[in-house]
Amino acid sequence: MSYAIIRTGGKQYRVEPGKSVRIPSLPGDTGTTVEFNEVLLGSNGTDVKAGVPSLKGAKVTAEITKQGRGEKIVVFKFKRRKNYARKQGHRQGFTEVKVQTISLG
């Protein structure tokens, strides 16, 4: 089973061919192919390659399947006895991608 660990949006994700993963928003429409060049670690099923800090020539290609926004969270700030309360909502944008191929270079 091949897999890779990529970095995008300041976070790291473990991806496998054929699986979907939600990552922070990327520009592009549904059906667009995206390429991740910052592969930190990769495995082809038998051996593991680790990069310092990333693997040279390695890339992961994926297809955008969905653009959307996540669940709403409530940001509530409060200071007792000071007549201060603020309520704000937030929905973080995401891009769902389906991994097609992993090339370790």
Tokens representing residue 79 in the block = 């200071």
What residue numbers bound the domain in which 86 lies? 3-103
pLDDT given for residue 1 in this prediction:
84
Per-residue pLDDT tens over the stretch 96-105:
999 999 999 7
pTM of the model: 0.85
Strands (E), 1-105: 3-8, 11-15, 20-24, 33-36, 39-43, 48-50, 59-69, 73-79, 84-90, 93-103
Contact 64, 36 (CB under 8 A): no
Give the total number of structural domains in the chain.
1
* pLDDT tens readout for residues 27-73: 999 999 999 999 999 999 899 999 999 999 999 999 999 999 999 99
